[in-house]
Amino acid sequence: MNQAGSITSELRTNWMRIVFSHPSHNSMPSSLLAELVEHIEAAASNEAVKSIMIRSAGDDTFCAGANLDELLAIQDEESGRKFFMGFANVILAMRRCPKPIVVAVQGKAIGGGVGIAAAADYCLGCRASEVKLSELAIAIGPFVILPALIRKMGVAAASELCLDTEWHDAKWGREKGLYQRVYAGPEELFREARLVARKLASYSPGAAERLKRSLWEGTEDWPQLLAERAGITGQLVLQPDAKAALAKFKKK
């Protein structure tokens, strides 16, 4: 596997499969997040593409969230804001894409990985698809992805996930609305995700676009909101308690 991570796109008849990978549990450094945005935007502008499926490589972790080394290297508020805009830009790209996006979560999702799942138009998981937000435990918070969580799961479930910082199993995710369906394992999950993507690609593009626009109604302020949230997190990560918590976390 490429040590810097990689993203591939493959056109399957009339839908696009986007796969991201990174040797560190499919974590997402800034460069990979920017590349993912480019792939989503390319699929969005490709007239041959009627739907999109996003997944990560392998049968294990879906996404371990942000890159820890990059987090520790942040030295000022502006670099912090730019770093946290990484996942914000992915969520915004998914939001403005006129085509339905299916996300297949085959394993554990942490931090920003949960944000990608929440920003999906249709999200599928399997029994291994546990989720966790540990940001509060490292003296910051999941501010950037919180709007996507609240939109998908509601305030109560989002609060539980953010505040207790513990693992929640796929059954919990299904009950709270994060996952539309949960399957036994990755093989079945990926097969069903392909079927959903094909089905969505068979519908009228115009109708699908109008429906997606309606489903995302009320999020018009997200570009400004997520930028503000990235700025907040960029400030918090510079505080001594955050630096100490991150350094301790890295030693584990």
Does 232 map to a domain?
no
Quote the pTM value.
0.96
Length of the chain: 252
In this prediction, what percent of the chain has a pLDDT beyond 90? 91
Domain that holds residue 76: 6-201
Alpha-helical runs (H) found in 97-215 = 112-118, 146-153, 155-164, 170-175, 186-201, 205-215
pLDDT one-digit tens code per residue, 187-224: 999 999 999 999 999 999 999 999 999 999 999 999 99
Does 133 map to a domain?
yes
Does 177 map to a domain?
yes
Q: How many CA atoms lie within 13 A of 35 on its CB side?
A: 16
pLDDT one-digit tens code per residue, 70-105: 888 899 999 999 999 999 999 999 999 999 999 999
Q: What is the CATH number of the domain that holds 140?
A: 3.90.226.10
Average pLDDT of span 8-28: 96
| Contact between 94 and 232 (Cβ < 8 Å) | no
**Cα(15)–Cα(3) distance, rounded to whole angstroms?**
28
CB contact set of 47 (below 8 Å; sequence gap of 6+): none
Average pLDDT of span 166-187: 98
Whether 1 has a pLDDT exceeding 60, the answer reads no
Stronger pLDDT, 2 or 188, i.e. the higher one: 188
> At 135, is the secondary structure helix, strand, or coil?
helix
| Contact between 103 and 47 (Cβ < 8 Å) | no
- In SS3 terms, 40-81 reads as HHHHHHCCCCCEEEEEECCCCCCECCECHHHHHHCCCHHHHH
Burial of 161 (0-12, 13-18, 19+ CB in 10 A): buried
| Contact between 231 and 77 (Cβ < 8 Å) | yes
Domains: count for the chain? 1
| Contact between 70 and 117 (Cβ < 8 Å) | no
Does 247 map to a domain?
no
Does 195 map to a domain?
yes
Smallest Cα–Cα separation from 101: which of 173, 34, 10, 193? 193
Does 28 map to a domain?
yes
Does 191 map to a domain?
yes
**Cα(162)–Cα(138) distance, rounded to whole angstroms?**
12
Does 209 map to a domain?
no
Which residue reads 């593409």 in tokens? 49
Smallest Cα–Cα separation from 98: which of 50, 60, 165, 146? 50
